[in-house]
Structure 1
Amino acid sequence: MSKPQIVLLPGAWHTPAHLVGLGKSLEEAGYTVHCNQLPSVGSDDNPPPDLTRDIAALQETVTTAIADGNDVLVVPHSWSGIIASSGLHGYGKKEREAKGEKGGVIRTAYMCAFLVPEGVSLLDALQHQIPEWWYPKGDLTYPTDPKIFYNDLPEAEQQMYFAMCKTHAYGTKKAKSTGASWKDIPSWYLITEDDLAIPAFAQDLMTGTVQQLGGDMKVERIKSGHSPWLSHPDFTVNWVRRAAGEDLEI
């Protein structure tokens, strides 16, 4: 059986450049990897006012990955969990098979990512309390502290990766999610216990809510900050490969 195609989704302020190492390791393990920049990141001249353009970009990438009938694993990080949940309805393998279509998303592997019900925005999830480490200015938002993302990396690496971050559209943080694909597509979730961006208790609450609502979600944990593929690359690659269906030791 051929391996599923993998779609990596960068989080807020982040780009495919941040995920190059993870993508390369997965390719070396025999996977085809897709990772495109979401429209809400770095769109200084025309920031999206809602989730529509990000969802369309995800769906275009997933459609490319499915092609003539491939299985697909989608791996969202952080904020992009909202895009995955909103955008994957109808793309699940079981949903597609019911319509006589081949291939589809077999699983979503949320990497310390936001999980919200349909009709809930990021700001709703934050109870409209903007954290001290990012701020809005006009239609854009800016992060201020590299430690929030990379607290378990050496300082020089923190600064390097933080310098690669771009602006993020404020409208997408205020926009309501448009779906909850975790109700239909099986999920994995990696809780990062030393996370300063989305504290572990919040990740526990989100995954617990999904499970209470009937979502098929397998939860694992790692003692890591918000970017586990950078601070714990071997574990994270192994986790993604296991989510893709490989029988590997933890």
Structure 2
Amino acid sequence: MRTTLLSRRSSLLGVVAAAVGLSVAAVTLPGAAGAAPRPPVRPTIVLEHGAFADASGWDGVVRRLERAGYPVVAAANPLRGPATDAAYLRSVVGHIDGPVVLVGHSYGGTVISQAAQGLEDKVKALVYIAAFLPDTGESSLGLTNKFPGSTLGDAITSVNYTLPDGAQGADVYIEQEKFRHQFAADVPADKARLMAAGQRPVAAAALEEKSTKAAWKTIPSWSLVTTEDLNIPVAAQRFMSARAHARTTEIDASHAVAVSRPGAVARVVENAARTVR
């Protein structure tokens, strides 16, 4: 009798152990039925500001992207020239683990176009926000002047400075009293005044320096075209976006669309980010 009970007990334990083993296998074996789905990839969004601005212009966009679960870096742009600025941005991207979506506003588009070349394994999408998409051999100023509509030339002033080697350089600003009309017409006056006071100048030479790379030829691109833009003519934005075969959205907004319409900008960036696998 004792032997029979022990035998039955051993058999029962064996059945339980086998069931547990099967249960564990069902959970852990790759591709098994009922396995938990892998979470979607969340690329890091790197935002590159343009001339006459700084990284704070992305604040409203950053808040929305972070709420959506994306890690975000709003990088500083030296605004010294495409080659210099792209090298700096590449160093920022190099310190980020995982896939990246690069977003450029205005002259920042020139920078991301150059910085992303050769980083196709890491940079999975380019997003241009009221931005330049230059081809090799083109400059930001040349593309601006290619089409009518920009009044930037009437709103800027330059300040000369001396470099350590004695050479002369020039920084370009938008005159503060003209800043809102020129750059941020749909931004509240108080905010536009702060933006004008804190604007970052761009080296005059940076706007004339020709691009040597065009990453939009090899990396999928998105573009937000601003139809009320007085810095980059809307015709220029449409031409560059079409040439790059960018997925394009148009919006009635000023050049400072990231400040005036951060929700619209964030949606375009998220559309690009969702394609990253």
TM over 0.5: yes
Q: Identity over aligned residues, as a percent?
A: 30
Q: Distance in 2 between matches of 1:219 and 1:231?
A: 19
- 2:87–2:115: 8 Å Cα contact kept in structure 1? yes
Rg bigger for which structure? 2
Q: Following superposition of structure 1 onto structure 2, how do residues 37-116 of structure 1 map, counting pairs within 5 Å?
A: 37-40=76-79, 48=80, 50-65=81-96, 67=97, 70-93=98-121, 104-116=122-134
Q: Following superposition of structure 1 onto structure 2, how do residues 1-250 of structure 1 map, counting pairs within 5 Å?
A: 1-40=40-79, 48=80, 50-65=81-96, 67=97, 70-93=98-121, 104-127=122-145, 131-138=153-160, 139-144=170-175, 145-146=178-179, 147-211=181-245, 217-245=246-274
* 2:125 aligned partner, one-letter code: R
SS at match of 1:27: helix
- TM-score of the two chains, using structure 2 as the length reference: 0.74
SS at match of 1:35: strand
Structure 2 unaligned residues grouped into runs of 5+? 1-39, 161-169
- 2:227–2:252: 8 Å Cα contact kept in structure 1? yes
Moved over 6 A (4+): none
SS at match of 1:177: coil
How many residues align? The count is 220
* 2:250 aligned partner, one-letter code: R
CA shift digits 1:61-95 (9 cap, x unpaired): 11122x2xx111111000111111112111113xx
Q: Distance in 2 between matches of 1:133 and 1:56?
A: 30
Q: Could you tell me how far 1:203 is from its partner in structure 2?
A: 0.9
Q: Could you tell me how far 1:25 is from its partner in structure 2?
A: 2.1
Q: Distance in 1 between matches of 2:229 and 2:85?
A: 25
Q: Distance in 2 between matches of 1:192 and 1:234?
A: 14
Q: Distance in 2 between matches of 1:199 and 1:150?
A: 15
* 2:221 aligned partner, one-letter code: S
Q: Distance in 2 between matches of 1:37 and 1:165?
A: 13
- 2:61–2:263: 8 Å Cα contact kept in structure 1? no
Q: Judging by fraction of residues, say which structure has more helix.
A: 2
- 2:184–2:192: 8 Å Cα contact kept in structure 1? yes
